[in-house]
Amino acid sequence: MKSIDRLIGQLALDSQIRTSDIPKIDLYVDQVIQLFETAFHDTKRQPDDKILTKTMINNYAKGKLFYPVQHKKYTPDHIMLISLIYQMKSTLSINDVKKVLEKVNEQAQARELDLSVFYETYLALQEDNHDAFKEELERQAEAVAHTQSEQDGELAKVLFIASLVHKSNLYRRAAEKLADELVREEADGKNSY
């Protein structure tokens, strides 16, 4: 179980941009990148990995994943949206991310949605997910340990990896199905928010 505790510690689950971390003033792109680099530094797989680049942000802007910036400055709402994009893009396609966030963008730009309240709710859900993840990771490790003897440590680790990948794929597929459903509901004129 020590190795699971060590693994959980290495995942830097607490790495996040909280609303209190976001300056109350608008930021230039380099400042946005630095904010993300600082917040997510411990989540890098390799030390030279980039968390966020100007190219990424420009591509998100060109792809209309967030509403337009004014005078090359990013508001706190833009930073929250970019954080959501950053989290979603590792699982969903950019087109799916755009579709999922489309209504959020529209309502935030029109000031019909207090994005900070929405984002704080998202962060609270993340905290719940962390707790559930830790419990599930420990459960999976125990299940694998019971199927393999101690002398098959490498095989047990392969089984553990395969099981985690499978679970990840299940969650990704569920997210994709919900994204497709959201798009269908909007096309049918149903408001799913």
Domain count of the chain? 1
Q: pLDDT tens across 139-189, in order?
A: 998 888 877 655 577 888 888 999 999 999 999 999 999 999 998 998 888
61: which 2 tokens?
Answer: 């802007």
Per-residue pLDDT at 156: 84
- Please give the average per-residue pLDDT across 63-83, as a whole number: 96
pLDDT of residue 19: 95
Tell me which residue range forms the domain holding 53. Answer: 1-191
Q: How confident is the model at residue 68, as a pLDDT?
A: 95
The 10s digit of each residue's pLDDT in 107-120 is 999 999 999 999 99
